[in-house]
Amino acid sequence: MKDLLDKALAIGLGLGITGREQADKLMTAAEKRLGLTKTQSRTFISTVMKKGEAARKDLDKDLSSFIGSFAKNVLPVSRKEFEALKAEIKGAKATPKKRAK
């Protein structure tokens, strides 16, 4: 069962990349090889495409989460924080402090 789901996921992701023309070819092949009717093959392809799209969305979400986490570790200071610190340092240089002798 897992093997079938893995294949379905691969097909779904592949269909997303190759487009409608490839889906039609796959539908024809499914009809011939699996002995499906046109309606059954369309339903099968539609289901596989939906699963592939769901998997792609999950992958996008996981990748975005990973990149966000990675960016926080690599770039521990946000741009806003950096600009605020830069302005603070610039302001400190503009008003020199008296030195004790």
Q: Which residue has the higher pLDDT, 96 or 36?
A: 36
Supply 81's token pair: 């924080």
Percent of the chain with pLDDT over 70: 75
pLDDT of 95 reads 64
13 has pLDDT over 70: no
Domain ranges for the chain, please list them: 2-94
42-84: pLDDT as tens digits? 888 788 778 878 888 888 888 888 888 877 777 777 788 889 9
pLDDT of 60 reads 82
pLDDT of 45 reads 78
What is the rounded CA–CA span in Å between residue 60 and residue 73?
Answer: 20
Task: Report helix, strand or coil for 1.
Answer: coil
